[in-house]
A = this chain, B = another copy of it.
Amino acid sequence: MRRELFDIPEGVIYLDGNSLGAPPKHVAERMQEVVKHQWGTRLIRSWSEGWWEAPQRIGDRVGRLVGAAPGQVVVGDSTSVNVFKALMGAVKGTGRTEIVCDESTFPTDGYIAESVASLTGLEIRAAHPSSLDLSEDTAVVLLNQVDYRTGALHDMKALTEQAHAVGAQVIWDLCHSAGVLPIELDALGVDFAIGCTYKFLNGGPGSPAFIYVPHARQATFENPLSGWNGHREPFGMKPSYEPDPGIVRARVGTPDILSMLALDAALDVWDDVDLAELRQRGLALTALFREHVEKLTNLEVITPEQRGNQISVRCQEARAVMDELIARGVIGDHRPPDILRFGFAPLYVTDEDAVRAAEVLADITR
Which residues of A line the B interface, CB within 8 A? 7, 9, 12, 14, 16, 19-20, 22-23, 27-28, 31-32, 35-36, 38-41, 43-47, 51, 77-81, 84, 103, 106-108, 110-112, 114-115, 119, 126, 149, 196, 198, 204-209, 224-229, 231, 235-241, 252-260, 262, 326, 331, 333, 335-336
Contact = CB atoms under 8 A, between A and B. Distances in A.
Given A224-B115, A254-B206, A256-B256, A235 B7 contact: no
A241 B80 CA distance: 13
B43 A20 contact: yes
Given A31-B32, A36-B7, A326 B78 contact: no
B81 A81 contact: yes
B40 A35 contact: no
Nearest to A41: B9
Contacts of A231: 107, 111
Contact of A35 (B31, B119, B333): B31
A32 B256 CA distance: 18
A217 B36 CA distance: 41
B79 A241 contact: no
A56 B229 CA distance: 26
Given A237-B336, A254-B79, A16 B28 contact: no
Contacts of A43: 9, 12, 14, 16, 20, 22, 331
A44 B258 CA distance: 20
B241 A114 contact: yes
A230 to B, nearest CB: 8
Contacts of A238: 107
Contact of A81 (B41, B77, B106, B107): B77
Contacts of A253: 77-81, 108, 206, 209
A80 to B, nearest CB: 3
A258 B111 contact: no
B119 A7 contact: no
Nearest to A207: B256
A319 to B, nearest CB: 11
A33 to B, nearest CB: 10
